[in-house]
Structure 1
């Protein structure tokens, strides 16, 4: 089992994300059931309780792990 990230690594992940992706960034999120959805961020990322980098997303209840979220171009669309 991989070693969990340190608080410093989580803080760096959050800082990097927030510096490159403002609130409202279009993203694709990998959901628990394996599906992917396109949405937008509604918050900056933060470290939750010292153990997880998370972010809020439009249309998704609660925060989501940042490592499941990928920024995409604003004109990205889903292929039919």
Structure 2
């Protein structure tokens, strides 16, 4: 999915799991962040689609983002 497609489907604030270093199937013990997007996705350097998330200082490639379902009203209460 590219940045334009991501933005069409997922507004800023979308819950995600982000993998800053590598995906769990490649590095099962690496850090993962349960977080939300804090920016629209954009193209970095003309070829990498990225997004910024809460709790992390740099952007993360969309290939390292898993969108999570929004919490239900019961989960929020």
TM-score range, shorter chain: 0.7 to 0.9
Question: Normalized against structure 1, the TM-score is what?
Answer: 0.72
1:49 aligned partner: 45
2:11 aligned partner: 22
Question: Normalized against structure 2, the TM-score is what?
Answer: 0.75
Select the structure that is richer in strand. 1
Superposed counterparts of 1:1-80, under 5 Å:
13-32=2-21, 34-75=30-71
Q: CA deviation at 1:49?
A: 1.2
Flag structure 2 segments of 5+ consecutive residues without an equivalent: 23-29
RMSD: 2.1
- Partner Cα separation in structure 1 for residue 45 and residue 5 of structure 2: 19
SS in structure 2 of the partner of residue 70 of structure 1: strand
Flag structure 1 segments of 5+ consecutive residues without an equivalent: 1-11
